[in-house]
Structure 1
């Protein structure tokens, strides 16, 4: 057989294989690209959204002896250049230009302060001229000296932030005596404010921009601020009280980050820390301070869960696509079998026959695989190795399957068989292997549930293999067991007078190798598509719950201080507002233990009216003196707290979270009736009113909405990729299941048409012919579809303990997977409809066949 002649003779089958291969290679090469691109986007977004104090890489220095002290800007800048030279190659693209340097003292007390303890630290910022604006007095200048307690001490000119003037009384012209045993004078000459308070760099220097209030358990209240001095002040800045520290901030530029390079960045950070440590001397020590490893570890955990789910469904898509292509290749080899058998009978060697089958298949799948691979480059995203491996694996597997079928079919010349007459009996070895697969799959599923999550950010092969093993086990059980109930129906049909049910069910019940492949394709396609749809719905449902847990109401209005009664009335009377619940938050002191937990006092009845349609349940209090405690405060009897006034409470039970307020640490929930007078700093609102209108009614408040929280959760690139891929894979697998049904129809079309034609000579009508075709096809669908649907619905429960999907659902674990009926009904209906249409189409085609063409010598 010449290859061009074979292509022309079987052009339809040839084109079908090419289309299936091109689509499969496009999906298998394109989806990983878009997935990897979204992984990179998610990493960059997480790094950009993290506070600079966590994401940036900072080198801190602590001078121990005077030789280690840096007294000029030049020395600090030399240190910055040295740290950049030490950056490993993998870390350099992530470090942006600029950065800043600081020198600060810590816990520097103001001598002579009464009542509240005041601390005024001395600070220097290398880029203060760019980041601050002087709104009072002047910028600090050169230091001077003064006599104090019989000794000469330096007087450093400093500026203070506006907030320190209001809260600590640090006004221009005042001179502060700082220190305890060693004194330094700080003369306030100016007041500043931030040019851009939203600048991310201020997270490194929040102590400069704001006054910090500290309430120790057994000491007076403390107020801390950090002043700013000029470059000249560095010459007078010493570390005689061991409170001075230096910091070089190397800003992170997350735009160059990619998910594949995360392990290399983590290793580079460890190497950089080692290099910085060895730079220390006896006069000064250095160390790296950054939260970047924790950020990368958290991202890796979420990425691992996403990759597990993605590779699971993509692996199923790969297997199903290969199975459908194998159906097409089987159709091609069946069509060419007479020609190859004739060539084998005329002396062609087995190698020549196999080469002919391989060449014909390679001509169909090779260019198509290259086309699908090339089309995948139209999709955005980087190119991971799987992009190259997927199309190559499809082409090689298709050619290998064709060669195997040709070799098995033509091992001996004129090796004719009638496999449709008897049921094939599987060997004992094959049955043993299949039983072993089933046992291992069930044991693996049990161990997965017993073990739970792996606890690492690396891919878990165990988690990837178990779903595949369960699917294969279910397919093998279905393949082995489905003929037996059909044979029972055959016996029942044999007792009837109608011949069509008996003939149709008899053909369907025969164990033929041709029927195994459709079952092995349909079941994974159905189960994985249902699994993807169920996980998609479960994530969506949990995202809804997470958004309600985050806000606590449709709209939450929060003020830093108490909201006046007239402002509350304005909100109640505003157009669109239906319900309002008042809540007050704050820190309270437990008298018996001295603990300072957070407390929420809320009108629970009004809160329930606000959340009447919410998917979260609100707690209940048995009486106005009852309190629900967090796990960190559990196990106590009646206790007393101080909050506005002393209140005695009874511990009613434990609550894991107060929706919209607290979910970790020490907190308690009480009724608003325990307050000595009505007070509220939070309004929980139900109604149709815009956040801008509420902000106008209460200018000092911030407004959050449940819809905005849900949109923020869904806007995460990683979450969006998981859900989008689930939808794409569900549609693709459903389409492949339908294609498998069609190919099964086409593969048996010749034999089925001949049978129908023979029966038509005996008086078979068109209606009976359609029923015969349906009875042959529907049992595979009716048996495989329920098993696939049941397996798809049970896979989330089987994998639930091993896959942490909370990263895609707002931090809440995805524990509930409601089995929606839409996807199962749509898939089952589609398969059934495809079978019915195929039966009608096949009958219509058989009607055009001449009856005398169906008879051979010896048949009549």
Structure 2
């Protein structure tokens, strides 16, 4: 057959098919690339934001004897090169080259007590390979060579050390002072200088916080804090440092560069880390002091994988639904093209054309529209940044194969015998017992799968949980089968009711709707997943948005919160009250207090709860009322103790009034208590809760010692996360695309059945049917199936979040707050239902207007009226 001639004759149907295939291929090939690019960005951000001690690789070994000691820099450098050479291929691009970035080596002692302090003060010795590039000496000088001195009749080494300025005040140290350290093998440290970090915010110092900060520890059962500081020694001091007399640990830091990392590499990275740790241990020459790999990277990867798994699952659901609906709409368009070619192919078959020729013609004509559209969609998807995934290549191919295959198969079945005739006025045959049994089995399995998913939760140890992927498909198929089976029964009841009326139009319209051909199953199978998935996506998106707002309020506790480690002076508080945009200020004091008279401690906040409640009255968070100057709100860990006595500025005896799970903006776990601010003799205010739209920079200027947070900034931080942004935007795009496909499916179903409806209306026009009655008849024929399918699809979309239960854990995208409220607004469902109804009604009216222009002779054949 002449394919170009057929293409010119059926140009309109081919154009529709081209547009549908182009949009489908662009979405199927473009969305996965955008998603994967955002997954990669999210992983890179999470690794870059994590403390260096968690993300970087650290090889450590404990020196237990002089044979294990390293005395010079060259020994450290040789091992550093060895660790880089042993890196597995998967890790090598992520680790910065040796001697660059934040990579360095260190030797530090641990738990080295100062003699005569009863174990309350510890001064450790530390050597950093690049200390000269990282610190500036602000007092004294840099440490030099070690010397010796006499102590208790023995000669002991004296290490020249430098300390951070904080140690001078918190540990009462002075430049020039000498301290004796150790318990049996004594040594002395002489403080010769004070240093400060050139860039304290550098990730480098995450590995050396013990050098930059004084560590305070409260041992179990004690009331006084221990103070720990690690000092800096020189290269010459390293030569005298031995693990034979100290708790000495050597470390090699291999910093991570997150830029080359891809989310696709996560499974391989876990295996590579395990292999690297095993290889590092094999380098040990002494079984008593083996080399160890220390890193928090596996946990970071596991946490990301959990969040990624949820994102991928939701994306698989919505993209799988989008692909299924897109293929269904394309199949509808192919059916429209096949109906238009039916007369031509029937004539060709009657004139001796083989079945292969007829089916090949249909497939070739379909491919003529679909193949260029698929290529164009695939090419346009290359403009979307992101890696090339298998689905990017397979999606367009699947669209072409589905369209061409359906065209060939439908034509082969339809024209298997020459001069085929079909009776459209015969009611559908009764389904067989085998078919009914199979459909019932599908419904039962879908309900059982949903129940098991909620009952057992998720199992994602080996990847995606198959239940989470199969249950939504089964529920959608079950809903479609129930709709197709139950659809005629309420209509038949309405037919019986309308049969008693005087007007024939309702009876005829509903009768034709109840006796719809089996071809009407295809629009149902398209509209149900389209509406179900689009509503599901809209509900999920609304749930995420609402929970993000809740999480931002829970993290801050007020529109604006100012916290300071020291007391905020009263003049500064008055300046804050008078600042532009400040509507209300609530004073609070926070501290860690003693519970009872033992060493037990708890977090406490003293605040006027009534004022705080008024400040957050419009927020999604709340606190129970607190009455009385001795009442308190306590955490679950402090419940059931009767009168609670705490040591703060004075001894306070409190009566627990209510138990609260958290204090918004302050405490979420552990032991905590909320007391009235009036319970304090003289409140030492260090926290301000502010209502208004004041400038955060202005507030920071007024109280330089305070950290300023706002609920709006916290919300933006949650929303700006790459994974969160991608999930929400993908849900929005899929919702719009599925709604559009649903409308296209309605239009195509109207066009496909146009000839049959025109013939029926023409028959009735010969009996006196008016144009107005013809419009009503057509609307009554179309609307029942559209409305019923729309209602079932909306119900399916609204019920899927509840049916999936624990499978839809989106807390990673809502500030780690569980997304449990999937109560949707009425805007999206009403808009979708109204849109479908409007399209159906307009299509019916357009069909009548077009059909009115035709004469009866153009529709009815000779003998139809005899």
TM-score (norm 2): 0.97
Task: Tell me, yes or no, if the aligned pair for 1:579 and 1:606 is still in contact at 8 Å.
Answer: no
**Match for residue 444 of structure 1 among 431, 443, 449:** 449
Partner SS state of residue 239, structure 2: helix
Alpha-carbon shift at residue 456 of structure 1 (Å) = 4.2
Alpha-carbon shift at residue 34 of structure 1 (Å) = 0.3
Which residue is equivalent to 2:204? 201
Which residue is equivalent to 2:540? 535
Which residue is equivalent to 1:120? 123
Equivalent-residue separation in structure 2 for 1:629 and 1:338 (angstroms): 81
Equivalent-residue separation in structure 2 for 1:584 and 1:489 (angstroms): 70
Partner SS state of residue 718, structure 1: helix
**Match for residue 615 of structure 1 among 599, 611, 620:** 620
Task: Tell me, yes or no, if the aligned pair for 1:769 and 1:843 is still in contact at 8 Å.
Answer: yes
Which residue is equivalent to 1:175? 178
Which residue is equivalent to 1:7? 7
Partner SS state of residue 241, structure 1: coil
Equivalent-residue separation in structure 1 for 2:691 and 2:274 (angstroms): 51
Alpha-carbon shift at residue 265 of structure 1 (Å) = 0.5
**Match for residue 524 of structure 1 among 522, 526, 529:** 529
Which residue is equivalent to 1:82? 82
Which residue is equivalent to 2:393? 388
Which residue is equivalent to 2:709? 704
CA-to-partner distance for each residue in 1:61-88, whole Å, 9 max, x for gaps?
Answer: 1112211110001101111111111110
- Residue range with higher mean Cα deviation, 350-359 or 442-451: 350-359
Task: Tell me, yes or no, if the aligned pair for 1:101 and 1:249 is still in contact at 8 Å.
Answer: yes
Equivalent-residue separation in structure 1 for 2:443 and 2:112 (angstroms): 71
Partner SS state of residue 329, structure 2: helix
Partner SS state of residue 459, structure 2: coil
Residue 677 of structure 2 is aligned to residue 668 of structure 1? no
Equivalent-residue separation in structure 1 for 2:153 and 2:304 (angstroms): 59
**Match for residue 215 of structure 1 among 215, 218, 223:** 218
Which residue is equivalent to 2:20? 20
Equivalent-residue separation in structure 2 for 1:303 and 1:788 (angstroms): 28
Superposed, 1:119-138 pairs within 5 Å as 119-138=122-141
Alpha-carbon shift at residue 381 of structure 1 (Å) = 0.9
CA-to-partner distance for each residue in 1:160-204, whole Å, 9 max, x for gaps?
Answer: 111112222322211221111011121111110010011011111
Equivalent-residue separation in structure 1 for 2:485 and 2:96 (angstroms): 62
Partner SS state of residue 423, structure 1: coil
Equivalent-residue separation in structure 2 for 1:789 and 1:650 (angstroms): 51
Q: 1:627 to 1:473 in 2, by over 3 A?
A: same
Alpha-carbon shift at residue 785 of structure 1 (Å) = 1.1
CA-to-partner distance for each residue in 1:706-741, whole Å, 9 max, x for gaps?
Answer: 000000000000001111011001100000010001
Equivalent-residue separation in structure 2 for 1:406 and 1:647 (angstroms): 88
Which residue is equivalent to 2:237? 233
Residue 721 of structure 2 is aligned to residue 740 of structure 1? no
Partner SS state of residue 122, structure 1: strand
Partner SS state of residue 585, structure 1: strand
Task: Tell me, yes or no, if the aligned pair for 2:775 and 2:848 is still in contact at 8 Å.
Answer: yes
Which residue is equivalent to 1:144? 147
Which residue is equivalent to 2:168? 165
CA RMSD across the alignment:
1.7
Superposed, 1:369-384 pairs within 5 Å as 369-384=374-389
Equivalent-residue separation in structure 1 for 2:115 and 2:238 (angstroms): 22
Which residue is equivalent to 1:277? 281
Which residue is equivalent to 2:228? 224
Which residue is equivalent to 1:43? 43
Alpha-carbon shift at residue 321 of structure 1 (Å) = 0.6
Alpha-carbon shift at residue 312 of structure 1 (Å) = 0.3
Q: 1:242 to 1:113 in 2, by over 3 A?
A: closer
Partner SS state of residue 306, structure 1: helix
Task: Tell me, yes or no, if the aligned pair for 2:801 and 2:808 is still in contact at 8 Å.
Answer: no
Alpha-carbon shift at residue 591 of structure 1 (Å) = 2.2
Residue 246 of structure 2 is aligned to residue 258 of structure 1? no
CA-to-partner distance for each residue in 1:294-342, whole Å, 9 max, x for gaps?
Answer: 0000000000110111110001101111110110111112222222222
Superposed, 1:683-694 pairs within 5 Å as 683-694=688-699
Alpha-carbon shift at residue 142 of structure 1 (Å) = 1.6
Equivalent-residue separation in structure 2 for 1:215 and 1:488 (angstroms): 79
CA-to-partner distance for each residue in 1:434-491, whole Å, 9 max, x for gaps?
Answer: 1111111111111111122336482111101111111111111111111111122222
Q: 1:32 to 1:135 in 2, by over 3 A?
A: same
Equivalent-residue separation in structure 1 for 2:172 and 2:643 (angstroms): 42
Which residue is equivalent to 2:188? 185
Alpha-carbon shift at residue 566 of structure 1 (Å) = 2.8
Residue 845 of structure 2 is aligned to residue 840 of structure 1? yes
Which residue is equivalent to 2:111? 107
Q: 1:277 to 1:632 in 2, by over 3 A?
A: farther
Q: 1:814 to 1:95 in 2, by over 3 A?
A: same
Equivalent-residue separation in structure 1 for 2:484 and 2:171 (angstroms): 81
Which residue is equivalent to 2:862? 857
Task: Tell me, yes or no, if the aligned pair for 1:529 and 1:729 is still in contact at 8 Å.
Answer: yes
Equivalent-residue separation in structure 1 for 2:660 and 2:508 (angstroms): 65
Gap regions ≥5 residues in structure 2: none
Alpha-carbon shift at residue 130 of structure 1 (Å) = 1.2
Equivalent-residue separation in structure 2 for 1:696 and 1:62 (angstroms): 48
Task: Tell me, yes or no, if the aligned pair for 1:527 and 1:789 is still in contact at 8 Å.
Answer: yes
Partner SS state of residue 155, structure 1: strand
Which residue is equivalent to 1:289? 294
Equivalent-residue separation in structure 2 for 1:385 and 1:201 (angstroms): 39
Which residue is equivalent to 1:565? 570
**Match for residue 347 of structure 1 among 338, 346, 352:** 352
CA-to-partner distance for each residue in 1:11-62, whole Å, 9 max, x for gaps?
Answer: 1111211111111011011000000000000000100111111110101111
Gap regions ≥5 residues in structure 1: none
Superposed, 1:817-836 pairs within 5 Å as 817-836=822-841
**Match for residue 307 of structure 1 among 305, 312, 318:** 312
CA-to-partner distance for each residue in 1:404-455, whole Å, 9 max, x for gaps?
Answer: 2122212222231113432332222222211111111111111111122336
- Residue range with higher mean Cα deviation, 17-26 or 771-780: 771-780
**Match for residue 799 of structure 2 among 779, 794, 814:** 794
Task: Tell me, yes or no, if the aligned pair for 1:65 and 1:284 is still in contact at 8 Å.
Answer: no
Residue 345 of structure 2 is aligned to residue 366 of structure 1? no
Equivalent-residue separation in structure 1 for 2:406 and 2:631 (angstroms): 72
CA-to-partner distance for each residue in 1:482-504, whole Å, 9 max, x for gaps?
Answer: 11111222222233332322222
Equivalent-residue separation in structure 2 for 1:413 and 1:476 (angstroms): 33
Superposed, 1:579-594 pairs within 5 Å as 579-591=584-596, 594=599
